[in-house]
Amino acid sequence: MARVAIVTGGTRGIGEAVSVALRDAGYKVAANYAGNEERAREFSQRTGIASYKWDVANYESCLKGVAQVVAELGPVDIVVNNAGITRDATMKRMTRAGWDEVVDVNLGGCFNMCKAVWDSMLERGFGRIVNIGSINGQAGQYGQVNYAAAKSGIHGFTKALAQEGASKGITVNAIAPGYIDTDMVAAVPPQVLEKIVAKIPVGRLGKAAEIARGVLFLSADEAGFVTGSTMSINGGQHMY
Ligand code: CAA
């Protein structure tokens, strides 16, 4: 039986590449999305991957969404916590709402999704959780106290939950992408982005497929001895 994977934020950007890579490797994939229906419809038509709408920041919605995936595809073996947003602003301009939104989606969403699948993974003695962190959670970034805090939280969360899953067949790992060629990075002001790219030793932005390759590795049955680790895929920008 093919294993079942949920990819949050799985219809665009890094998530889209992850959904497609997992499908190509033979997994049954559910691509979650929160808002952009048109893009999700286009994604599902093009890839044949089912998309499911719910807000990862909402705990009840995660429970319902996961239950729907289980009913349609089977018990969930792999969760890729990829859904993430930015509300970049310097501390002077950042609002409390901009802090809450980013923490609730990027970090709260990871808790909600793990909680929704955890008991079932324990019962079945198998699970693969891959959390998408960020270079900016490792190194910080001007204008991102909310995002850097949430992503840094992802790395601590990963190491803590990995300890709980280790003897139960469940691995929990993180990937820390650098600057990847997606809509999120395209929103960075061009003059700021130019300076960032100049500091990437590989000399370019990363590709979403280069992150998906890491997710595939960590999701495999054969990756059972890798847990609590962070794979940095950032073109050498931050050697952590
Ligand atoms: N380091 C030091 N100073 C900086 C700086 C930096 N990285 N970025 C901006 N500044 C300085 C500017 O030089 C400027 O200084 P002066 O006033 O003395 O000229 C001052 O800060 C204000 O800069 P802006 O005009 O850009 O200020 P703003 O308020 O309009 O915007 C900002 C601030 C929202 C932070 C904007 O600079 C920005 O969007 N930066 C990009 C932040 C970023 O990299 N986000 C990553 C998004 S992608 C992502 O998050 C994915 C991932 O995981 C990697």
Residues with CB under 6 A from ligand 1: 86, 88-90, 93, 134-136, 141-144, 147, 179, 184-185, 188-189, 192
* pLDDT tens-digit map of 162-221: 999 999 999 999 999 999 999 999 999 999 999 999 999 999 999 999 999 999 999 999
Nearest to 113 by CA among 140, 148, 84, 142: 84
Do 38 and 58 meet the contact criterion of CB atoms below 8 Å apart? no
Question: Rounded CA gap, 204 and 100, in Å?
Answer: 32
Find how far residue 18's CA is from the centre of its chain: 9
Rounded average pLDDT per 10-residue block, the chain, 240 residues: 96 97 98 94 97 98 98 98 98 98 98 98 98 98 98 98 98 98 95 96 98 98 98 95
Q: Is the pTM of this model over 0.75?
A: yes
Of ligand 1's atoms, which has the minimum distance to the CA of residue 143? 35
List the domain boundaries for the chain. 4-233
**Probe ligand 1: pick from 183, 188, 191, 207, max atoms within 8 Å of CB?**
188
Of ligand 1's atoms, which has the minimum distance to the CA of residue 178? 54
Bridge partner residues of 238 (DSSP): none
Structure token pair of residue 89: 């602003």
181 class by beta-carbon count within 10 Å (0-12 exposed, 13-18 middle, 19+ buried): middle
In sign, the C-alpha dihedral spanning 189, 190, 191, 197 is: positive
Between the CA of 142 and the centroid of ligand 1 the distance, in Å, is 6
Structure token pair of residue 66: 């996961």
At 240 the pLDDT is 72
Between the CA of 205 and the centroid of ligand 1 the distance, in Å, is 18
Counting runs of H as helices and runs of E as strands, what totals does the chain give? 10, 7
For residue 29, give the 3-state DSSP assignment.
Answer: strand
What positions carry a catalytic annotation?
147
Nearest to 61 by CA among 9, 116, 16: 116
Bridge partner residues of 80 (DSSP): 7, 130
At 204 the pLDDT is 98
At 36 the pLDDT is 87
Between the CA of 100 and the centroid of ligand 1 the distance, in Å, is 20
Cβ-count burial 140-156 (b if 16+ within 10 Å, e if not): ebebbbbbbbbbbbbbe
CATH code assigned to 4-233: 3.40.50.720
Of ligand 1's atoms, which has the minimum distance to the CA of residue 134? 53
Question: Rounded CA gap, 152 and 27, in Å?
Answer: 29
CA dihedral 17, 20, 24, 25 (to 10 degrees): 70
Within a 10 A sphere around the Cβ of 191, how many other Cβ atoms? Answer: 7
